[in-house]
Amino acid sequence: MLEKIGIFLCFMLFSTNLWAETLEPSLAGTWYPGSKKELDSMLTKFFNNVELGKNKDIIPLGIISPHAGLVYSGPIAAYGYSLLKNGNFDTVIVIATSHRYNAGKVSIYNGDNVKSPISTSKVDKEITQKLLAANPDFESITQVFTGGENSFEIQLPFVQYQLPNAQIVPIMTATTDYSLLDDLSEALISILENTDKKIVIVASSDMAHFHPYKQTIDMDNHTIDIILSMDTEELKKEVERGKCEICGFHAIYPFMKVMKHFGADKPIMLAYQNSADITGDKYSSHIVGYSSIVFPESKSGIQKKETEQEVYSLEEKKYLLDLARKSITYYLKNGKRMQPEKPDDEKLTEERAVFVTLNEFGNLRGCIGHMHAQMPLYKAISEMAVSAACEDPRFPKVKEKELKDINIEISVLTPMEQITDWKQIRMGIDGVWIKKGWQSGVFLPQVATETGWDRVTFLENLCAHKAGLKKDAYKDPNTEIYIYQVEKFSEKELD
């Protein structure tokens, strides 16, 4: 019997490995050495030849790195990657651009691992799944990463050499849709603002392609100057005019927007070279340029917005939850509302908008609140708790015997902010109040987290099922959209 159990456990362990999806290298042995020993030796040589001088201690938020065969681009790529050791990074996000596959999508590889001859790295599934949930046009399309696509694969050995324990987020911009690229930058900003992980981003791109030597250098200098100026719109215009050539522009575009948002807006050009500098054939008309540009982390680092910081202490949260429960109990026993004493804590007497949510065995049992502050916080909690228990028209009145099975959740709202572009909404962070004429509806931020909806599905449900509007009313210029954030806490969380 024990022998059978042992065989079964071994089978399960073996089967688990079989079920893991791994992105295998397709260019090993051609674009770079196929053996770990040879590739490790090549990378060691590249890194040993890097001379950074005064830039050696920079902690990068991001780098632009080339992606040609390592004989050509490797010595330049090593400059940017050499700085990764300064950051103690948990996750590396690589934004690449598909050379062969335009699906009109952003592809987020959502397998389990990515592999090169150096090693096998885990995919950061927490981040990939958040990205996939952010937009219906973010999909996991494995084939854009395979079949000899170099823009992601060439970056991986450098990451693994410098950060052997880091997780990877592979992104491929298989689209030229700038609104979708804007969505990608917004999704990345949201993730960086709301994680404790230390993250660095790589944008994968070579520069001018297949021109004579001087023309290549002139074009690349022009492109580098615009990148260093942080003018993404000018770069876009010059790429469209053919004055700049960067095959990874649709990776660089959202990358630079993320850099600018976090104050990494003083990039430094670390190194430049082109293929003729390697081969010595400066008379060729098929020269390709390579650059390594670092975007140093701002001195303040990545800061969460003030509205996303916790305002209330553990003691204050416990007081408010206890007050909510006492208020419901008092009403059910006495048939009238309790009049709570004014607390000494000034934060608890500020006028704030709140929602109180009741859940029973994991299911919604009542939720009532105010979108705008109408009374001091402690009074609002007492009032809304009773209303959630007894006045939510969707549910029968809570009975006293149910209270032991009910979990109370409180959401304290920030002031409303009207927005003009629904794509600004950050899933899981922003609550939304939508209003057209006399019809309106509201979702708390946690609705997106609990349902897994993308932004469009979230808004369609809000319009159709909460506001009684057409499901696409959020696109109507006459519809008002307001966002807010909440500080949410519950009895279950604090137990």
CATH assignment at residue 433 = 3.30.700.20
Cβ count near 212 (within 10 Å): 15
- pLDDT value for 306: 42
Q: Which residues pair with 364 in a beta bridge?
A: 359
Q: What mean pLDDT is predicted for residues 475-482?
A: 94
- pLDDT value for 262: 86
- pLDDT value for 256: 92
Give me the CATH number covering residue 185: 3.40.830.10
- pLDDT value for 309: 54
Q: Does pTM top 0.75 for this prediction?
A: no
Residues 289 and 317 in one domain: no
Let me know if residue 394 belongs to a domain. yes
Q: What mean pLDDT is predicted for residues 105-116?
A: 91
- pLDDT value for 373: 87
Residues 265 and 326 in one domain: no
Residues 155 and 119 in one domain: yes
- pLDDT value for 300: 53
Residues 394 and 450 in one domain: yes
Place of tokens 């019997």: 1
Residues 111 and 250 in one domain: yes
Residues 473 and 437 in one domain: yes
Let me know if residue 4 belongs to a domain. no
Let me know if residue 7 belongs to a domain. no
Let me know if residue 154 belongs to a domain. yes
How many residues does this entry show for the chain?
Answer: 495
Report the alpha-carbon distance of residue 184 to residue 407 in Å, rounded: 36
Residues 152 and 106 in one domain: yes
- pLDDT value for 304: 46
Q: Is 46 helix (H, G, I), strand (E, B) or coil?
A: helix
Residues 60 and 124 in one domain: yes
User: Domain of 418?
Assistant: 307-494
Residues 39 and 63 in one domain: yes
Which of residues 456 and 83 earns the better pLDDT score?
A: 83
Residues 170 and 129 in one domain: yes
Query: Rg of the Cα trace of the chain?
Result: 27
pLDDT tens, residue by residue, 209-255 = 888 888 888 888 999 999 999 998 898 898 888 888 888 889 999 99
* Domain boundary, last residue among 296, 326, 341: 296
Q: Tell whether the torsion through CA atoms of 25, 29, 30 and 32 is positive or negative.
A: positive
Check residue 280 and give left, alpha or beta (phi > 0: left; psi -120 to 50: alpha): left
The Cα-based distances of 193 to 138, 222, 304, 482 in angstroms read: 20, 33, 5, 20
Strand 22-23 relative to strand 113-115, pairing: parallel
Residues 233 and 358 in one domain: no
pLDDT band at 4; cut points 50, 70, 90: very low
* Domain boundary, last residue among 296, 318, 333: 296
Q: What mean pLDDT is predicted for residues 170-188?
A: 89
Out of 182-196, 290-304, 327-341, which region has the weakest mean confidence (pLDDT)?
290-304
Let me know if residue 181 belongs to a domain. yes
Report the alpha-carbon distance of residue 123 to residue 145 in Å, rounded: 14
What's the number of domains the chain is made of?
Answer: 2
Let me know if residue 2 belongs to a domain. no
Let me know if residue 489 belongs to a domain. yes
Residues 202 and 137 in one domain: yes
